[in-house]
Structure 1
Amino acid sequence: MKKYALPLLAAICLLSSCSNQNSSEEGTIEETINENPSSFKEIGSIIIGSEGAAEISAYDEVSKKLFTVNNSSSNKIDVIDLSDPSNPKLIASIDLTTFNGASNSVATYNGKLAVALEATPSKQDLGKVVVFDTSNYAVLKVITVGSLPDMITFSPDGKFIMTANEGEPNSDYSIDPEGTISIIEVAKDYAVTTLNFSSFSNQLTSLKINGFKISSPTNDFAKDIEPEYITISADSKTAWVTLQENNGVAKVDLAAKKITAIFPLGFKDFNLAENAIDISDKDGGVLFNPWKVKGMFMPDAISNFEVNKTTYFVTANEGDAREYDNYIDISRIGSSSVILDPLKFPNASVLKEDAKMGRLNIVNKMGDTDGDGDIDELVSFGGRSFSIWNGNTGQIVFDSKNELDRKAQEFGTYDDKRSDDKGAEPESVVVAKMGAKTILFVGLERSDNCMVYDVSNPNAPKHLQTLKTGDAPEGLLFIPASKSPTKRSLVVVSSEGDGTIKIYQPDLN
């Protein structure tokens, strides 16, 4: 059964920035196939390297090529012929060594490939965006952006390229660049505007109260911010950027080139039965129990979608610590450096055992609520979940609680060795339209899964399917049927642990 619709970008633009896939022209007649989003099956795969390969991929519908970051041996972008997704073929590589940078992310739009490059040997220097022609790999433009551009995406209308510039410090924290966001206007000869977060420093007190984290040797607000991933609304007017280490999301007005808000994401209570977690890798099994600890959501990837004229963003709540020579903000509860308040934790010696809470990694720079030197409140890294938030207010609408870990355990892929850290470790999210339904794909780095959800009702997502991926899936890419070489929707999963790219396709209803 087939139907025709004027999509107004809906079917081709409601993709996460981590998918790095964008639409071409608005208003074109699009053929929509009645597919079953619960029935994705692997139809093809290719190995492009060892560990460190196959990080992020982007698909160019003009050339029917897949472009994948591959840093396993040398710094390059591998080019894969995807005209037959059941038989993907490596046909070329783009050598990036001449640009004196290491690639982190790729994005495509209408015959253009944009690559984000951090500076080498010092990633604290300003980074670059290099734009190539996807047909012949000719360089179209080189643009200077902020320090350590970690993610790149085109706006759905192709008018903007955006980078999240993480601005990580060097090992001894003697150099800590500002975390920034760069907005590049394609039609204006790639003119770039780079935004920092200094204007929000006067909001620090209220942000911290609501769960925002500023923590570094210098406590410099603008330098402490570390942008991670970007998603842009279907109308190309608004962007949301994860600030992973800070436990927040920034909202950006693209036309005004202005950061308009920072949303602190707060905490998740793992002492609730619905949020019960397997807290130890040395407790003899996978045991989901409530524990007196909170989690900072600390999202990595982000995507957005619209339902009933309300825009939502969805986050993969991975969590991330800062571990440098002169500054480490992570400790195990059982370590001697972690002193628990005897009134809040009267059974501290028992809790610090490996089979109890002792193995859990916590934020050692937080939790001393009364300033007496011991920890009154335990705060861990990540939410072990995906969450849906109101795009205008930043208020949480839904959290998947402990379902990702439980579903991975039911599927037989949960890695108990990661229980003390981040569980299944949600890394990636992509939202897309499939017919009348809004479908979410969630990549789990440590259980090697892609989970599929129906989020047509943002308040009550439904789990549809669990897919087995390669080792440590890093990038998720959704190719809508209208842009697919098979005229069927495709999901492409790039896994950095084993350099494998897998391609999945659904059945028809």
Structure 2
Amino acid sequence: MKNFGISLIAALFIFCSCENEKSDNNQEIEINEDVASFKEVGIITIGGLAAAEISAYDETTKRLFTVNNSATNQIDVVDVSDPANPKKLAVIDLSVYSGASNSVSVYGGKLAVALESTVNKQGNGKVVVFNTSDYSLIKEITVGALPDMVTFSPDGKYIMTANEGEPNADYSVDPDGSVSIIEVNNNYAVTTLNFAGFASQLTTLKTKGFRVSKTAKSFAADIEPEYITISADSKTAWVTLQENNGVAKIDLASKTITSLFGLGYKDFNTAENGIDVSDKDLTIAFNPWKLKGMYMPDAIANYTVNGTSYFITANEGDAREYNPYTDVARLKTLTLDATVFPNAATLKADASMGRLNLISTEGDTDNDGDLDELISFGARSFTIWNGNTGSLVFDSKNDLDKRSNDFGTYDDARSDDKGSEPEAVVVAKMGNKNILFVGLERTDTVMVYDITNPSAPQYLQSIKTGDAPEGLLFVPASKSPNKRSLLVVSSEGDGTVKFFQPNLQ
């Protein structure tokens, strides 16, 4: 009887370990995982600061490819056939390609690496494609300036890059921000799109919170694409334009930018949006303030519910800081309109709002030299938007900061500057639920939400990560080395890659 019990348990385990695998009658077999029970199962340290920024997984070789820029210029290859015991296998040296890696993506045995030029950072970058089995070079493709993110489309037909096109240190050269679309099956033919065609819409875009710097050399040069997500049918892409507080929508078949969405402002003057604005008040208190935030998203993800597309943003915020031009200043150094802010002197105290970093070039609505509105970087939240209209569906308000504090990871030293700093978002399908993972750079945490209902996400879990999680990667159980869902978190602060898996129900 005892042996029978053991055999039965083993049989059940084998049955449960075949999510999305085909049985003999071609029916899908799914495991039943507890979506709120992710826990750390493995870790590998590949270097120090900037050693583990972004990772990509190859199902065939069961290898992880991780950007390593910690005094090196390489991709580290890690064997993750056993997620509890990851082992470094090899290094792909990138120094011979005159570029430094920013991002990686994998599809069908091909590894795509985005390289910014180390000869001239404002010059064109490239995508270098390698074979994941032997690391041999397949193709080098020229793209726009400073490719900051690369991704394959879900069907593998396209590689896309977000080319940030940042200016040089003295702002004398500012290349166009752009998006490159590479056709894999057409000898890697590349089409690079800029945003010049939308310059005539700037007045309208500004009414929707879209932002162009007052010292911009041109509309196209000021646009800075940051991150890309591509729909499951590989027909549509959404691209964050972080410093511009916008998102671009792209049609892949026609290779055209079809829309620019201005994301507007978040009102922090409500109890549910209340934030901690000082790192010198000797307490953590999430209160409403007469303040707005530009969403300025970094990472972006997408999913579809009942035929409607949604994109999700991690609303980090980002300043421009160059020798002749900077757009960030502490509130206490700025002049506030005396009528709008009769208590300006009180607000400028360090224990009040004085330490808060503001967008110094925004908020003077009547152009008289003082601020009529206070506008900060980021929204300290994740937001779900309608993928067709760009309209806001749900914002997490101050949930990320408050739950970080409850979890014991909130860093009060960042209260004056973006709070928990949402950096990354990834959406995964687990069973019949859509699960969102949100990486928080300054609280070293990943938060997990059930977003099956886009208008009413439900918090599930907080997970402690390495220092400054930058890259989130979800591997579904069907592709995972041990046939269990796998969350991979790459942290650039300490050079660690951590592996998390949920319990079976």
Q: TM-score range by the shorter chain?
A: over 0.9
One of 484, 501, 506 as aligned partner of 2:502: 506
CA contact 2:347–2:354 (8 Å) conserved in 1: yes
CA contact 2:18–2:483 (8 Å) conserved in 1: no
One of 365, 369, 372 as aligned partner of 1:373: 369
Structure 2 counterpart of 1:21: none
Structure 2 counterpart of 1:251: 249
1:222-301 alignment, distance < 5 Å: 222-301=220-299
Change (3 A) 1:115 1:123: same
Deviation at 1:86, TM superposition (A): 0.3
1:87-98 alignment, distance < 5 Å: 87-98=85-96
Q: Secondary structure at the match of 1:354?
A: coil
- State yes or no: 1:450 paired with 2:441: no
- State yes or no: 1:135 paired with 2:137: no
Q: Secondary structure at the match of 1:358?
A: coil
Structure 2 counterpart of 1:183: 181
Deviations 1:75-102 (A, max 9, x none): 0000000000000000101000000000
Looking at structure 2, the residues matched to 83 and 30 of structure 1 have their Cα atoms a distance apart, in angstroms, of 23
Structure 2 counterpart of 1:105: 103
Partner AA of 2:441 in structure 1: E
Q: TM-score, normalised by structure 1?
A: 0.94
CA contact 2:245–2:297 (8 Å) conserved in 1: yes
Deviation at 1:32, TM superposition (A): 2.3
Change (3 A) 1:190 1:30: farther
Q: Secondary structure at the match of 1:151?
A: strand
Looking at structure 2, the residues matched to 436 and 50 of structure 1 have their Cα atoms a distance apart, in angstroms, of 39
- State yes or no: 1:359 paired with 2:359: no
Deviations 1:405-463 (A, max 9, x none): 00000000000000000000000000010000000000000000000000000100001
Structure 1 counterpart of 2:204: 206
Deviation at 1:6, TM superposition (A): 11
Structure 2 counterpart of 1:317: 315
Deviation at 1:121, TM superposition (A): 3.3
Count residues in correspondence: 488
Q: Secondary structure at the match of 1:442?
A: strand
Structure 1 counterpart of 2:35: 37
Deviation at 1:216, TM superposition (A): 4.7
Partner AA of 1:169 in structure 2: P
One of 147, 150, 153 as aligned partner of 1:149: 147
Partner AA of 2:159 in structure 1: I
Deviation at 1:73, TM superposition (A): 1.8
- State yes or no: 1:495 paired with 2:495: no
Looking at structure 1, the residues matched to 205 and 153 of structure 2 have their Cα atoms a distance apart, in angstroms, of 29
Deviations 1:29-55 (A, max 9, x none): 654211111000100000000011100
Partner AA of 2:328 in structure 1: I
CA contact 1:4–1:30 (8 Å) conserved in 2: no
Structure 2 counterpart of 1:350: 346
Looking at structure 2, the residues matched to 4 and 220 of structure 1 have their Cα atoms a distance apart, in angstroms, of 55
Deviations 1:459-478 (A, max 9, x none): 00001000000000000000
Change (3 A) 1:185 1:259: same
Q: Comparing both chains, which one has the higher relative contact order based on Cα–Cα distances under 8 Å and sequence gaps of 6 or more?
A: 1
1:79-90 alignment, distance < 5 Å: 79-90=77-88
Deviations 1:173-205 (A, max 9, x none): 110000000000000000000000000001000
Looking at structure 2, the residues matched to 5 and 260 of structure 1 have their Cα atoms a distance apart, in angstroms, of 41
- State yes or no: 1:400 paired with 2:396: yes
Q: Secondary structure at the match of 1:205?
A: helix
Deviates more, 1:305-314 or 1:178-187: 305-314
Deviation at 1:217, TM superposition (A): 2.1
- State yes or no: 1:166 paired with 2:188: no
Structure 2 counterpart of 1:15: none
Deviation at 1:220, TM superposition (A): 1.0
Deviation at 1:326, TM superposition (A): 1.0
Looking at structure 2, the residues matched to 460 and 128 of structure 1 have their Cα atoms a distance apart, in angstroms, of 41
- State yes or no: 1:439 paired with 2:435: yes
Looking at structure 2, the residues matched to 329 and 122 of structure 1 have their Cα atoms a distance apart, in angstroms, of 25
Give the unaligned 5+ runs of structure 1. 12-27
Change (3 A) 1:149 1:441: same
Looking at structure 2, the residues matched to 29 and 443 of structure 1 have their Cα atoms a distance apart, in angstroms, of 35
CA contact 1:56–1:106 (8 Å) conserved in 2: yes
Q: Secondary structure at the match of 1:428?
A: strand
Q: Percent identity?
A: 68
Looking at structure 2, the residues matched to 4 and 497 of structure 1 have their Cα atoms a distance apart, in angstroms, of 34
Give the unaligned 5+ runs of structure 2. 1-11
Looking at structure 1, the residues matched to 438 and 68 of structure 2 have their Cα atoms a distance apart, in angstroms, of 22
CA contact 2:472–2:489 (8 Å) conserved in 1: yes
Deviations 1:385-410 (A, max 9, x none): 00000000000000000000000000
One of 415, 423, 432 as aligned partner of 1:427: 423
Q: Secondary structure at the match of 2:313?
A: strand
Looking at structure 1, the residues matched to 444 and 201 of structure 2 have their Cα atoms a distance apart, in angstroms, of 39
Change (3 A) 1:219 1:206: farther
- State yes or no: 1:418 paired with 2:414: yes
Deviations 1:155-183 (A, max 9, x none): 00000000000000001111000000000
Deviation at 1:218, TM superposition (A): 3.2
One of 189, 192, 202 as aligned partner of 2:190: 192
Partner AA of 2:457 in structure 1: P
CA contact 2:182–2:188 (8 Å) conserved in 1: yes
Looking at structure 2, the residues matched to 131 and 37 of structure 1 have their Cα atoms a distance apart, in angstroms, of 34
Q: Secondary structure at the match of 1:178?
A: coil
Deviations 1:333-356 (A, max 9, x none): 011xx1000000001011011100
One of 46, 49, 52 as aligned partner of 1:48: 46
Q: Over aligned residue pairs, what C-alpha RMSD do you find?
A: 1.4
Looking at structure 1, the residues matched to 18 and 456 of structure 2 have their Cα atoms a distance apart, in angstroms, of 27
Greater Cα radius of gyration, structure 1 or 2: 2
1:215-226 alignment, distance < 5 Å: 215-226=213-224
Q: Secondary structure at the match of 1:192?
A: strand
CA contact 1:4–1:29 (8 Å) conserved in 2: no
Looking at structure 2, the residues matched to 192 and 186 of structure 1 have their Cα atoms a distance apart, in angstroms, of 9
Structure 2 counterpart of 1:24: none
Partner AA of 1:472 in structure 2: A
Q: Secondary structure at the match of 1:103?
A: strand
Partner AA of 2:156 in structure 1: G
Partner AA of 2:434 in structure 1: T
